[in-house]
Amino acid sequence: MAFIEIIDEYKRYKMGDTVIAANDGINFSVEKGELVIILGPSGAGKSTVLNILGGMDTCDEGKIIVDDVEISKFNNKQLTNYRRNDVGFVFQFYNLVQNLTAKENVELATQISRNALDVDEVLALVGLSHRKDNFPSQLSGGEQQRVSIARAIAKNPKLLLCDEPTGALDYNTGKQILKTLQDACKNTGTTVLIITHNSALAPIANRVIRINDAKVRSIEVNENPIPVE
Ligand code: ADP
Ligand code: ADP
């Protein structure tokens, strides 16, 4: 069995009398340690998949298996534990605590996690040692996103889930963030999933899953992903 297995997963939202099929029979698998890009236009159903995989939402039907555990059978308490210990999240707009320094933001995440890594080492890994005592408002967008990546990987998660991590950044800063994510994937062995609408990102991934209109349209395995410079 693969590290992640999503089997016949369905998620519908009711809006008054209309039902929206956000995920309409999603199937894919991911191997441990891969960097995966989930690609598709806005409204395709990408965030729904990511939220379900991260234990932030539950599916209506289907099986979600992570590291041999069926998380789609979890109760709320098990989901909370899973989110705290097994999953790191990176968002488009960083979501840092504004009155805590970079280092304190990372420490906060490690306090509620079982397997936490050394905070200074993780800050060094993302190239932010010299900025650790700065507050978010004193950091550039790219630096703030590196704090948020440090915060996510400091939990030593099995999975790192990133929702449009370069979406708010200019081209060169976005490239640095993708390099940071690619390095984190290599250096920590964490499996990284990135959702994006930007097909230019595809060449850096081990696996590209295209989603459109609530279904998986293609899956490409890339034997030689391009290292981001
Ligand atoms: P993407 O991340 O690819 O932009 P989403 O997974 O966010 O797509 O959304 C898929 C579909 O589900 C869209 O039509 C969206 O409007 C709908 N949707 C997502 N979340 C909700 C929600 N909480 N309530 C109602 N509809 C939703
Ligand atoms: P724009 O924001 O002007 O639409 P692009 O769509 O070209 O620019 O790129 C958007 C994001 O994709 C940027 O954050 C950039 O870092 C990233 N990106 C695009 N192409 C590549 C590539 N070949 N390698 C790494 N990152 C890329």
3 state SS of 117:
coil
pLDDT at site 140:
94
Nearest CA to ligand 1 atom 26: 13
Q: How far apart are CA 14 and CA 20, in angstroms?
A: 6
CA 46 to ligand 1 centroid distance, Å: 8
pLDDT for 115 beyond 90: no
pLDDT mean over 88-113: 94
pLDDT mean over 204-224: 97
Instruction: Identify the band that residue 229 occupies on the pLDDT scale cut at 50, 70 and 90.
Output: confident
Q: Across the chain, what does the average pLDDT equal?
A: 95
Nearest CA to ligand 1 atom 7: 47
CA 18 to ligand 2 centroid distance, Å: 36
Q: What is the dihedral of CA 139, 100, 153, 219, to 10 degrees?
A: -60
CA 51 to ligand 2 centroid distance, Å: 24
Q: Which ligand is nearest the CA of 11, by number?
A: 1
35, amino acid identity: L
Which residues does a 6 A CB cutoff place in the pocket of ligand 1? 13, 15, 20, 22, 40, 42-48
CA 191 to ligand 2 centroid distance, Å: 22
- The pTM assigned to this predicted structure is 0.89
pLDDT at site 124:
93
pLDDT for 112 beyond 90: no
* pLDDT tens string 12-21: 999 999 999 9
